[in-house]
Amino acid sequence: MRSRVFLTFTLLCAIQLFASDHKKLSDAESSGFLGPVKSVSTDTETVNSPPIVRHSWLEFGSVFCRVCVFDEKGSRVMQGQDWGSGFMGERTRSISDESGHIREQIVENEKGEIVRRVSFGPSGMTEIRTYRQAGPPFINRFQYDENGQMKEAASIDESGTTTGVSRFRRDADGHISEAWNFAGSNNKFLSHNTDIVDPDSGARRFTQFNEDMTVRLTYTAKDYEVVSYWQQPNDDPDSGPALSFAPDAKHRSWQWYHPDGSFEKTTKEFVDDTRPDPKHEEFYDGDGRLQVTVDYDYEFDNYKNWTKRTVWAWTPELGARQVIKIDRRTLVYWPK
């Protein structure tokens, strides 16, 4: 399954980074908040259990910010939830240089113990040190090219041994055109991928090779749809890739492939093109039949952040929509 993880990661990077560079967002903006939000608190009333669906990216109203606090620049300083007995989660301290750019973030748990240290350079994160218990940290390191785009990602375990490396090559547009993935201190081969875009037709042809350069998997995508697919036969029905497509900022789809070329599909429509709040979700099984829909009804405040959200689900067995849960959110803003 390790090769699947690397394959999915590489595919998602390739597809998402094929688009033009996105504006750098604050933590608050990345979390979907508009305006000078200072704190957020969310309470959930569960009405019915959501359907159980494998191989889907349905959210069913997941809440990623139950208790969050942001500073005046929109940087997250606290995230977690209140269980009644007290806050459980993380607090973040940011260290900036003389120009105001964040160079390090120190993340602590509710006990005040350091769980993560993140270092930043001009192009983005350069190192993440994760402390799981007393002793040396687990490390992720990132290198960038002269254009500020990531060219290598490496993971190092607590003993200082390199456990994985991914290297990227990009075309003139910054799209990841080739990637190599290795595991362990001896650089054990995992995969070699090419992802080529035809400048005339816009079609993308992705190919993953074995170590002997025989083809393990290949597909062609055009207009955000897979038009051809082939994978080397194997005995693992879950060994295929997870592909993500975003034709515009309001729509996105995920396709979870199997060796025989069949796939499950999740589609999402968002409230607008500025935040990740879903409006409608659908899940299709391997035969292309609609199996689940999820709808979201919102109430918004003056900053257009939602304060109440009702989540509905439908399945053929239900026959009609039913309420899954109701979320209520309290937001406090920094004074203008």
pLDDT in tens, 232-246: 988 887 788 889 998
Residue count of the chain, please give it.
336
The CA distance from 117 to 93, in Å, is: 10
Between CA 118 and CA 108 the distance in angstroms is 12
Q: Determine which of 30-39, 95-104, 280-289, 296-305 has the lowest per-residue pLDDT on average.
A: 95-104
Reduced to 3 states, what is the DSSP secondary structure of residue 84?
A: coil
Q: Judge whether residue 4 has pLDDT over 70.
A: no
pLDDT tens digit sequence for 271-314? 988 788 999 999 999 999 999 999 999 999 999 999 999 999 99
What pLDDT was estimated at residue 74? 92
Q: What is the pLDDT of residues 48-88, one digit of tens each?
A: 999 999 888 899 988 888 999 999 999 999 999 887 778 89
Could you tell me which residue, 310 or 7, shows the higher pLDDT? 310
Between 174 and 141, the higher pLDDT residue: 141
pLDDT for position 273: 81
| pLDDT at 23 exceeding the cut of 90 | no
pLDDT at 20: 33
Answer yes or no: is pLDDT of 11 > 80. no
- The residue with greater pLDDT, 260 or 281, is 281
In this predicted structure, what is the pLDDT of residue 237? Answer: 78
What number is the average pLDDT over the span 41-54? 93
What pLDDT is recorded for position 185?
79
Residue 79 burial by Cβ neighbours in a 10 Å radius (0-12, 13-18, 19+): buried
pLDDT in tens, 192-228: 999 999 888 989 999 999 999 999 999 999 988 899 9
| pLDDT tens-digit readout, 113-127 | 999 999 999 999 999
User: What pLDDT is stored for residue 233 in this prediction?
Assistant: 87
Average pLDDT score over residue span 20-44: 83
| pLDDT on residue 101 | 86
Cβ atoms within 10 Å of 265's Cβ, excluding its own:
20
Cα 234 from Cα 212, distance rounded (Å): 17
The tokens for 300 are 């918004």
Mean pLDDT of the chain, nearest integer:
88
42, β-bridge pairs: 329
pLDDT at 64: 84
Residue 43 vs residue 83, higher pLDDT: 43
If DSSP codes are grouped into helix, strand and coil, which group holds residue 225?
strand
Burial readout 298-316 (b: 16 or more C-beta within 10 A, e: otherwise): eeeeeeebbeebbbbbbbe
Q: pLDDT value at position 85? A: 77
